Amino acid sequence: MSTQRPEFERSPIDASGIGDIERPLPLAERILRNDAVQRAAIIVLLIVIWEAYARWLNYALLFPTFTDTIRVAWEDKGELAMRVAATMRALVIGYAAGLACAAVLTTLAVASEFGARFLSTLTAMFNPLPAIALLPLALIWFGLGTPSLVFVIVHSVLWAVALNTLTGFRAVPETLRMSGRNLGLRGVRYVVLILIPAAFPSILAGLKIGWAFAWRTLIAAELVFGASSRSGGLGWYIFAARSELDTARVFAGLLAVIVIGLLVEAVIFRAIEARTVKLWGMQR
Amino acid sequence: MRAEGDCLLEVNGVTLQYKTARHLVTATFNVDFNVREGDRYVILGPSGCGKSTLLKAVGGFMAPVEGSVRIRGRDVREPGPDRMMVFQEFEQLMPWKTVEQNVLFPMKVTHKFPRKEARQRALSAIDKVKLTPFRDIYPHMLSGGMKMRVAIARAMALEPDILLMDEPFAALDALTRRAMQQELLALWNQLRFTMLFVTHSIEEAMIVGSRILILTPHPGRVRAELDTSMFDFSNLDAPEFGAMAKRIHGLLLDDDAKVPA
């Protein structure tokens, strides 16, 4: 059974009583929700666990405490800084060279179907090949020293970056491509002005993976080289400390590796993300 | 000097074909039409009549198998900024540029205007589509209708010979769509640009267009060309509007028209 319902019209009720429609959250809540604060809390928690476990174990040769590790690192700060500088120099050269190679290969891959097949075949062949496996070859070709390190870093950066960039280029929406071509953009200008920014989320992911590959390859390569290289980097520092059974120094070296990794990720890559893909709404 | 009424775009006997993985599809067959300066020329047809493909050919994104497309007497061979395209999709804006940068970008890369003038033009184009408060916003924060307005502003700021619009309002909700049609007409009244507009909505074609080309599907062939310059929002309810809509409906769906209501 249905009854007739009356129609009505009215002016909207007064909503001024609820105050501002958009108001800031309380300070405490904003601090607790802050990403950096939460991350710092996680790191502090891990350090507390480390310190507590090491104290309970009480066996410095196996597992030195956090405080011991920091003390040793402080004592060695001059040497550590030098080692880090040596490592970073090789890394920056290798990373830059790897990116340059990736840029050339992906540009060729965008320019022609043959280039794309060439790149994907190369990537399929070399991407799974561990960079460390190339180290003996690098030693034969370039001898001990930075050129060998650069060679393995290029190998570990190149394929990850090239693969991600190409995948990103392929995912650029057709409409965006057409609106670029509509303006008569071609060749390098088309790649630089349209494809690279449009594919930036993938490119950035490639850069991050490439960085992680490069960093671990580099430290591992330095460990292998270590015994004979005077001007070795962080890997050599760790290796040398191990041969003296100086576990706190091994820890100090590892801590430096981790801290640098964390800084690059949390400071550099985060800053790039915040200014690009997050700002542009391409990534949440 | 060009004047309203001069012939701007000549499409002569154009046959368009494209390949899918398995088929060679003929989209349009032997299509002729002329667009004059200041026309609001609409290509109307059901899906599958090749109207978007035809627009792409005028844009220079695909070459005709037969026939020719000429703009101001020059053969169209490749895409160019003299024929600015506005697409149906919202993703035509560059997400890495603000509204202002998006409008400025075509003028920058084509060097059509000096730097200072380009900025002035961009600001005035943004003002015309009423987006001045959103100048420094990135596209992902805009609604669909606002993105479309940016795309139109971007295309018009460059002052192309012809504005190519591929169902620009199809993805909008009905209310926004109506508002956009009104704005487009208001802009045209102000600036008198030439546009080639593709749609499958009879009402939209009649309101937006001053001239309608009707295509039949599979493959697209010319069925009729009608003058609809007398229709706009003011006479939506007039009997002539209904009669014209009915006539177009009949032309689009020949078989249905013969069936008594």
- Is residue B91, in this structure, part of any structural domain at all? no
The CA distance from B25 to A65, in Å, is 73
Beta carbons of A252 and A236 less than 8 angstroms apart: no
Q: How many CA atoms lie within 13 A of B116 on its CB side?
A: 0
- Is residue B215, in this structure, part of any structural domain at all? yes
B21 touches chain A (CB under 8 A): no
When divided into structural domains, chain B yields a total of: 1
Assign domain A60-275 to a CATH class.
mainly alpha
Look up residue A153 and give its amino acid.
Answer: I
Which residue of chain A has the CA closest to B99?
A280
Provide the mean pLDDT of chain A.
87
Q: Model confidence at B4, in pLDDT bands (50, 70, 90)? A: low
Q: Model confidence at B255, in pLDDT bands (50, 70, 90)? A: low
Q: How many CB pairs under 8 A join A and B?
A: 63
Look up residue B156 and give its amino acid.
Answer: M
Provide the mean pLDDT of chain B.
86
Parallel, antiparallel, or unpaired: how do β-strands B211-216 and B40-44 relate? Answer: parallel
- Is residue B182, in this structure, part of any structural domain at all? yes
Q: Model confidence at A99, in pLDDT bands (50, 70, 90)? A: very high
Q: Which B residues in the span 135-174 are in contact with A, Cβ-Cβ below 8 Å? A: 138-141
Are B89 and A175 in contact (CB < 8 Å)? yes
What is the domain-level CATH number for residue B239?
A: 3.40.50.300
DSSP for B61-99, written as a single string: SS--SEEEEEETTEEP-S--TTEEEE-SSGGGS-TTS-H
Q: Model confidence at B260, in pLDDT bands (50, 70, 90)? A: very low
In chain B, which residues have their Cβ closer than 8 Å to the Cβ of A193? 109
Give residue limits of the domains in chain A: 60-275
pLDDT tens for each residue of A132-180:
888 888 888 988 878 888 999 999 999 999 999 999 998 899 899 998 9
Give the ipTM of the model, two decimals please: 0.83
- Is residue B96, in this structure, part of any structural domain at all? no
Measured torsion, CA atoms of residues A41, A45, A51, A53, in degrees rounded to the nearest 10 = -170
CA-based nearest distance B251→chain A, Å: 32
Which residue of chain A has the CA closest to B142?
A281
pLDDT tens for each residue of A215-234:
988 888 888 765 455 667 88
pLDDT given at position A233: 83
CA-based nearest distance A54→chain B, Å: 49
User: Least CB-CB distance to B91: which of A175, A184, A200?
Assistant: A175
Which residue of chain A has the CA closest to B141?
A281
Spell out the SS3 assignment of B158-211.
Answer: CCCCEEEEECCCCCCCHHHHHHHHHHHHHHHHHHCCCEEEEECCHHHHHHHCCE
pLDDT given at position A165: 92
- Give Cα separations from A24 to A27, A29, A34, A35 (angstroms): 8, 10, 14, 17
User: Could you tell me the residue range of the domain that residue B60 belongs to?
Assistant: 7-82+160-258
Extract the tokens encoding B196: 């080639």
pLDDT tens for each residue of B58-68:
998 988 888 88
The CA distance from A209 to A11, in Å, is 58
CA-based nearest distance A6→chain B, Å: 27
Residue B2 has pLDDT above 80, yes or no: no
- Is residue B244, in this structure, part of any structural domain at all? yes
